[in-house]
Amino acid sequence: MKVSIITVCLNSETTIRDTIVSVLAQTYPDIEYIIVDGQSKDNTVAIIHEYQDQIAKVITEPDEGIYDAMNKGIVQATGDVIAILNSDDFYLDNEVIAQAVAAFQKVPTVDMVLGGVEFVNREDADKVVRCYKSTGFKPWKLRFGLSPPHPGAFIRREAYNQVGSYKLKYKIGADFDFFVRSLLVHKLNYITTDKIWVRMNVGGVSTLGFQSYKVSTYEMLRSFKQNKRYTNCFFILLRLPLKTLQLIRRE
């Protein structure tokens, strides 16, 4: 089973090296690594070029945002399974891909394997501020704004062919919309694991505070409306106290 890992980046010189190294350190042998850069103006491209001979494809060109870059990577991917690891995230250890592949091999009919993520302090990658496991996730929870952690998802390429790409009309919610289409509309098969696979730096595009929360709430409601599935504003807003509970448990 070939695994394509896609990293999208823009001006990520402070974090991109950790992302790349975490991919290249994986023990699983059949990995295709694709990096899509939106024409960074800092040192990002120079850092990528240091590892050029270990990266399958590097795309450097203007794009229409993070989801456009992800779609470009998916088009280029030739793996049986695709994972997206953003440029301020990194794999927790070098067995992550091997563990994900083992899960697919254990349940050959599965379309999606969902792992967990930890949010860490940007200044101290060992300081975990929130843990987000996929165990306990059910598709109905999407109605409450609770989706699986996107960086912890490994998805068959055929699922992308069936469900479609990330929709560019969403600023930060296209991954949520993809899960709505995948799990509520197309009802793809999935399994969860209790393993934590990814560490995410707090401060990414979807973790920027109240404004991000406001935009994501609107986009979640829009996704449900356009996919003709039911939720409401009250349901979606409930995700804030549920996420706060994660912080309390972490403390």
Q: How far apart are the first and last CA of the chain?
A: 39
**Burial of 36 (C-beta count, 10 Å sphere; 0-12/13-18/19+):** buried
Question: 220 is written with which tokens?
Answer: 């979640």
Confidence of residue 210 (pLDDT cuts 50, 70, 90): low
Q: What is the CATH number of domain 3-250?
A: 3.90.550.10
pLDDT at 61: 96
Residue 136 C-alpha from the chain's centroid: 18
pLDDT at 162 over 80: yes
Count the alpha carbons within 13 Å of 198 in the hemisphere toward its beta carbon.
30
Average pLDDT for the chain = 92
pLDDT at 246 over 60: no
Q: Note the pLDDT tens digit of each residue in 113-152.
A: 999 999 988 777 678 888 888 998 999 999 999 999 999 9
Count the alpha carbons within 13 Å of 103 in the hemisphere toward its beta carbon.
25
When pLDDT is averaged across residues 172-197 and rounded to a whole number, the result is 97
Return the percentage of the chain with pLDDT > 90, whole number: 80
Q: Maximum CA pair distance of the chain?
A: 50
When pLDDT is averaged across residues 31-45 and rounded to a whole number, the result is 97
Q: Which residue has the tokens 């505070």?
A: 209
Confidence of residue 100 (pLDDT cuts 50, 70, 90): very high
Beta-carbon count within 10 A of 224 CB: 22
Lowest mean pLDDT among 93-97, 131-135, 211-215: 211-215
When pLDDT is averaged across residues 48-73 and rounded to a whole number, the result is 97
Domain extents for the chain? 3-250
pLDDT at 128: 84
Rounded CA separation 236/18 (Å): 34
